[in-house]
C-alpha cells in the first residue's frame, strides 16, 4: 500500500478537527442527558458509568440529531431496491447496531423511504462509509462517494438495476 492510499484510509476513520460537532467537553467526565453516553478520557462511550459529579453535556450525536445535520448521507436507488427493500433495511439497521455499540457517536439520524429511493442519514461519516461498503459487499451495485470540501461530511450514492 502506498503512502497516499494509507492517508486516505486514515482520513475516512479519523474525526475531523474542523467539525464543530466534535468539540470536546473539556477535562473531566461528562454525561449526555439525552442518550446516556459518557465522555471520559477523551472518548464518548456506552461502557463507562458516569460519576455523580459528571458534567451534563449534550453529545455530538444528539446535537446533530436535534439540528438535523448529518455527517453522512446515503441515497439508494435502482430497480433492485424495490424487490429487496426489507433485506437492505435489515442490513442498514444491523450495521448501525454494531457500529453504535463500538462507537457511541455513530448513529442513524433518519431512514426515509420515498418513491423508489431510500435516503439514510447518519451522525458520523464512519457509519455512512460502513453502510456503503456493506451494500456493495452484500448486493453489489455501483457506489459513488463525495466528501465535502471541509471533509466533515460524505454523500454516498448507491444504485443497482
Query: Where does the chain hold its CATH 3.30.70 domain(s)?
Result: 67-159
Cell numbers for 159: 444504485
Distance CA(121)–CA(153), nearest Å, equals 11
pLDDT of 50: 81
Cell numbers for 17: 478537527
Say which residues have a Cβ less than 8 Å from residue 12's Cβ, sequence separation at least 6.
Answer: 125, 126, 129
pTM, entire model = 0.84
pLDDT at residue 6 greater than cutoff 70: no
Per-residue pLDDT of 80-109, as tens digits, reads 999 999 999 999 999 999 999 999 999 999
pLDDT, the chain, mean = 86
The DSSP result for 64-80, as a single string, is HHHHT--SEEEEEESHH
CATH code that applies to domain 67-159: 3.30.70
Amino acid at each position: 500500500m502506498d503512502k497516499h492510499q494509507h492517508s486516505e484510509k486514515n482520513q475516512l476513520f479519523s474525526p475531523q478537527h474542523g467539525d464543530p460537532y466534535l468539540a470536546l467537553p473539556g477535562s473531566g467526565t461528562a454525561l449526555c442527558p439525552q442518550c446516556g453516553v459518557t465522555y471520559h478520557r477523551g472518548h464518548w462511550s456506552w461502557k463507562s458509568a458516569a460519576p455523580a459529579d459528571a458534567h451534563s453535556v449534550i453529545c455530538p450525536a444528539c446535537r446533530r440529531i436535534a439540528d438535523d445535520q448529518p455527517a453522512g448521507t446515503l441515497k439508494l436507488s435502482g430497480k433492485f431496491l424495490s424487490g429487496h427493500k426489507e433485506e437492505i433495511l435489515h442490513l442498514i439497521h444491523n450495521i448501525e447496531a454494531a457500529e453504535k455499540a463500538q462507537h457511541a457517536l455513530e448513529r442513524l439520524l433518519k431512514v426515509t423511504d420515498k418513491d423508489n429511493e431510500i435516503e439514510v442519514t447518519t451522525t458520523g461519516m464512519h457509519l455512512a462509509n460502513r453502510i456503503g461498503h456493506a451494500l456493495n459487499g452484500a448486493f453489489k451495485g455501483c457506489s459513488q462517494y463525495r466528501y465535502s470540501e471541509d471533509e466533515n461530511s460524505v454523500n454516498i450514492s448507491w444504485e443497482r438495476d
